[in-house]
Chains A and B, each alone.
Chain A
Amino acid sequence: MMRLWKKAYVALIFLFLYAPIGVLIAQSFNASRYRGHWTGFTLQWYGELFQNEGILEALQNTITIGLSSAAVATLLGLVTCLALRGMGRRRRSVLMGVANIPLLNADIVTGISLMLLFLGLGLRLGYGTILMAHIVFNLPYVILCLMPQMLSLDRNCYDAARDLGATPLMAFRRVVLPELRPSLLAGFMLAFTMSADDFIITHFTKGAGIDTLPTEIYAELKLGIHPEMYALSTLVFVFVLVFAFLLFWNRKRMQIGQSAR
């Protein structure tokens, strides 16, 4: 009885989480341009997606900004974490607190404050300002991913490499960096995801004439969403779904392989 209740509870939350996604996926196959009216099945929007320059350009911006902001944030985060590791507890927690401000602050306030900064510096809002803003809010995510592993990293591993003949640079490149790779990767992926999904901060720092996918969607909301956007979102979601499951199965298989040995 208890088990049934639990299953029903989990299922209900699943329904809540996936209902809108189901609606969006259905929309991408809907012949009608208008949401809420089902007039028949079509693949038309998937075909037209690749001719819609506005959407493709927004997609390109999203990907390039996502990759480069994640890369810069990961690099900056790595250097910062290396410095934090060597610090005393007090100074470290103060600096971590500062680093976390963009994470704890409301997106709208971060967005506004950055917009005021960029305009105050006399910059023109555009690709560059979006990129900088994304690095700002990505950095705490990278530090969040990296810091635990940086702190638990056995200092002896570095010493062992030195002991075996490596120069400091070699020891860092061949031992420290590979040991940190899982969390560097996690930080990079999380940063990319956050960047690609961000609407609010981009909204305030983007200026006219440039859009990422979320701001493009926002602009379309008022006039009605192009159905191609549903098609694109469905594709992205399915891609992430497949990717996540591959990752999951792969990890599980490895675990089973390990315990079998």
Chain B
Amino acid sequence: MKKELIHLQGVSKSFDGHLVLDGLDLTIYENEFVTLLGPSGCGKTTTLRLIAGFEEPDTGVVLFDGQDITHVPPNRRQVNTVFQNYALFSHMDVSGNIAFGPKIHGKSRDYIKDKIRYALKLVNLDGYEHANIVDLSGGQQQRVAIARAIVNEPRVLLLDEPLSALDRKLRRSMQLELMKIKKELGITFVFVTHDQEEALSMSDTVVVMNQGYVQQIGTPESVYNEPENAFVADFIGDSNIVDGLMVHDKLVRIQGLDFDCVDVGFGNNRPVDVQIRPEDIELHKVREGALNGTVTKVIFEGMNYNITVRAGKIEWLVKSTRVYHTGDAVSLWVDPFNIQIMNKPESEDERAMEND
């Protein structure tokens, strides 16, 4: 049974008259790895800072374990933060940084010493107690920042784009390490990132945000495979998003051709957004009555070819392991199961939500 730990209720926040969060509702459960994912300016970092206590909402409340903590200062919350660019105290050495929290809480010397050793071991930095912060590499500073936060035994660890300053390879290994630390500590992680790959590979739950609104909450699989709207479909992975007409259940008309699909409940003869992943499109020989087109661009990507096919007025993006050449005539085919139907935004407000 999942237990609610953090609950944001109708939270709005604006800076200098600019609305960053608008009536946000969000529930985070105990022992979850939650990722707030979205483009810059979507409000994900503000959400994190509200949980940490660095900001107070204009309206709405923040509940922690059932208690209202909206106006509790950060030093009295059971959460700790790993900051973007780490925010290490450069005038202290590694153990000085890690000991900062326990010292303030009046812990004994022996306790602090043990804690430092344990934390450094956990982040794979044993022996670095007395290293200077400025002498450490980015990855090592990252580890110190994590160690500094977890020695306080927080119930929630907040991570604000902690890996954005690392190079690709290091980032990958830190991702694995973070998941290991999470398992070891058994606490809740709230992770903020704009990197969808990072979000999909690490989290239990992904919260996709844009312009201060939550767009979709779900498992990595569900946000990837069943995006609820065009923004999510577009932001996560590559997508073809085209206009369609839902003729009736399980039949959608795209570019004047009828396609079988598996979605129901969209009504009859209603305009919808149709999403098809590039890797789900198969290319075949030209055939009467199918969606036919011409290859206009081919880019080799290592794993596969990125192929652009122009069919009528629409350019389709296709990923294929077989090579095609510019000018080749092909026909596009999609398994009904891989056609994702989404409601078109109805109101102006909803449309605004989806504007990137």
Check A-B contact in the complex, CB < 8 A.
yes
Bound-state Cα–Cα, A171 to B104, Å: 10
Output the nearest chain A residue to B89 by Cβ-Cβ distance.
A175
Among B84, B88, B104, the residue within 8 A (CB) of A165 is B104
Q: Which one, A154, A156, A167, A261, contacts B75 given CB within 8 A?
A: A167
> Which size bracket describes the interface of B in this complex?
20 to 34
Instruction: Say yes or no for B73: interface residue by CB 8 A criterion.
Output: yes
Quick check: is B134 within 8 A (CB to CB) of the other chain?
A: yes
A160, A166, A178 pick with most chain B CB within 10 angstroms: A160
Among candidates A157, A174, A261, residue contacting B87 with C-beta atoms closer than 8 Å = A157
B90 an interface residue at 8 Å Cβ cutoff? yes
Rounded to whole angstroms, the CA-CA distance of A176 and B152 in the bound complex is 21
Measured CB to CB, the nearest residue on chain A to B81 is A163
With beta carbons under 8 angstroms apart, the residue of A154, A162, A175 that contacts B73 is A162
Q: Is B81's CB under 8 angstroms from A160's CB? A: yes
Q: How far is the CA of A165 from the CA of B53 in the complex (A)?
A: 11
Beta-carbon contact of B75 and A160 below 8 Å? no
B2 on interface, CB distance cutoff 8 Å: no
> In chain B, residues 63-80, which have Cβ atoms closer than 8 Å to a Cβ of chain A?
73-75, 79-80
Q: Please give the distance in Å from B18's CB to the nearest CB on chain A.
A: 14
When the two chains form their complex, are residues B83 and A159 in contact, meaning their CB atoms are under 8 A apart? yes
Q: Is the CB of B83 within 8 A of A160?
A: yes
Closest partner residue, chain A, to B84 (CB atom):
A156
Whether A179 lies near B152 (C-beta < 8 A) is no
B92 / chain A contacts, CB cutoff of 8 Å: 178
Q: Is B87 touching A164 in the complex (CB atoms < 8 A)?
A: no
List CB contacts (< 8 Å) of A164-202 with chain B.
164-168, 170-171, 174-175, 178-179, 181
Is B266 located at the chain interface by the 8 A CB criterion?
no
Kindly state the separation between the CA atoms of A179 and B88 in the bound complex, as whole angstroms: 11
Question: Does A258 sit within 8 A of B, measured CB to CB?
Answer: yes
Contact with B along A226-261 (1 / 0, CB 8 A): 000000000000000000000000000000001001
Q: From residue B78, how far is it (CB to closest CB) to chain A in Å? A: 10
- Once A161-B100, A164-B101, A165-B101 are accepted as A-B contacts, the answer to whether A179 and B54 lie under 8 Å apart by CB is no
With known contacts A258-B132, A261-B135, A166–B87 Cβ distance under 8 A:
no
User: Once the chains bind, are A159 and B74 in contact (CB under 8 Å)?
Assistant: yes
Chain B residues closer than 8 Å to A181, beta-carbon distance: 91
Whether B135 lies near A164 (C-beta < 8 A) is no
Question: In whole angstroms, what is the CA distance A164 to B82 when docked?
Answer: 10
Interface membership of B216, Cβ < 8 A: no
In the assembly, what is the distance between CA of A174 and CA of B79, in Å? 21
- Asked if A164 contacts B104 (CB within 8 A), the reply is yes
Q: Is the CB of A156 within 8 A of B85?
A: yes
> Contact string, B228-271, partner A, CB cutoff 8 A, digits 1/0?
00000000000000000000000000000000000000000000
Chain A residues with CB under 8 A of B52: 159, 163
Distance to closest chain B CB from A24 (angstroms): 41
Cβ contacts A to B, 17 pairs, < 8 Å: A154-B87, A156-B83, A159-B74, A159-B83, A160-B87, A160-B89, A161-B89, A162-B74, A163-B74, A163-B149, A164-B75, A165-B152, A167-B75, A174-B100, A178-B92, A258-B135, A261-B135
Beyond A163-B52, A181-B91, 15 additional pairs, beta carbon < 8 A: A154-B87, A157-B87, A159-B81, A159-B87, A161-B89, A162-B53, A163-B54, A164-B80, A164-B148, A165-B105, A166-B75, A166-B100, A168-B73, A258-B132, A258-B134
Which A-B residue pairs are the 5 nearest by beta carbons?
A: A156-B87, A164-B101, A162-B74, A178-B91, A160-B87
Q: A-contacting residues of B (Cβ < 8 Å)?
A: 52-54, 73-75, 79-81, 83-85, 87-92, 100-101, 104-105, 132, 134-135, 148-149, 152
